[in-house]
Structure 1
């Protein structure tokens, strides 16, 4: 049986979470692959950090089980390179030679866990489950933000002005005075904004504005 199962780049592989194993020890890769498959996870087993850097990440929740000591680029260096490339795959470090400085560096870099060999199977499975859940939440949050930005792009320039002022805490009559509009016109704009942004309440709309970093234009500056 091939050590690497169906590639995560294969469309037929489905949308199940993917675990990348990066370890230069073939027996460890086989052992971890078999363990993770027992809980229904798809696995990509790689022998070096360079292979991981060349690998196309799947568009679904994933994580990496990464050995600290690797030929060429180390696991810790790979963590840094991925962060620089804005790749946010959660990492679980494994090592037979762990020490406190390594552990601190890994965890400060955002690692989910740091396991010293030999570790219990359940400890690894628990760490992988936590890592996949973290990645799933990140993806959901990014999708929600992208959807919110797309809705904001549908607003007219005037609606964006009104949104910024409303979100800053001004009442309708104050917004009207600020923009030289009738108060009823501001109310109409506000209703259109609520509908386009799919805001359930004013508080919801204010939260969206804060998330998007919307602020009123400075006096004399066109929005």
Structure 2
């Protein structure tokens, strides 16, 4: 089971993805804005963050940059209905693990979250 932060300003997307994550055995902690997410006390405790590119207020790239500046090493998976090639490239150059365009393959996102969780558990367990 993984804790996944979900940052999207669309309430329907948040509810849908949270339900999907729950049905896959994960816990979703949802935020409606980048500012709300960054103000959270638990930012570094999740497996990864599903981060929308276009948010009201800070955009996803701003949130990603703020995490980098804080030294918070949390894997970022971008989700967006937008995503010009240069924006996708910038997100990936800044360390994003993946960039999925909406509508996206739910199975691919769940597989990626499972893979991240497995790598984190392996890295945390003593050899």
The TM-score with structure 2 as length reference comes to: 0.89
Q: Which residue number in structure 2 is paired with residue 126 of structure 1?
A: 111
Structure with the higher fraction of residues in strand conformation: 2
- 1:117 matched to 2:64? The reply is no
Relative distance call for 1:52 and 1:58 in structure 2 (3 A) is closer
Structure with the higher fraction of residues in helix conformation: 1
The one of the two structures with greater contact order (alpha-carbon pairs below 8 A, sep at least 6) is 2
Structure 1 residue ranges without an equivalent (≥5): 1-15, 145-223
Between stretches 52-61 and 21-30, larger displacement belongs to 52-61
Whole-Å Cα distance in 2 between the matches of residues 27 and 108 of structure 1?
30
Whole-Å Cα distance in 1 between the matches of residues 68 and 110 of structure 2?
24
Q: Following TM superposition, by how much is the alpha carbon of 1:93 offset from its aligned partner in structure 2, in angstroms?
A: 0.1
Output the aligned Cα RMSD: 2.1
- 1:39 matched to 2:24? The reply is yes
Q: Which residue number in structure 2 is paired with residue 173 of structure 1?
A: none
Contact in 1 for aligned 2:44/2:73 (Cα 8 Å): no
Contact in 1 for aligned 2:21/2:27 (Cα 8 Å): yes
Structure 2 counterpart of 1:88, from 73, 80, 92: 73
Task: Give CA deviations for 1:92-147 in whole Å, capped at 9, x if unaligned.
Answer: 00010111111111111111110000011101112222333344456x29x99xxx
- 1:57 matched to 2:42? The reply is yes
Relative distance call for 1:109 and 1:103 in structure 2 (3 A) is same
Higher Cα radius of gyration: 1
Whole-Å Cα distance in 1 between the matches of residues 83 and 72 of structure 2?
25
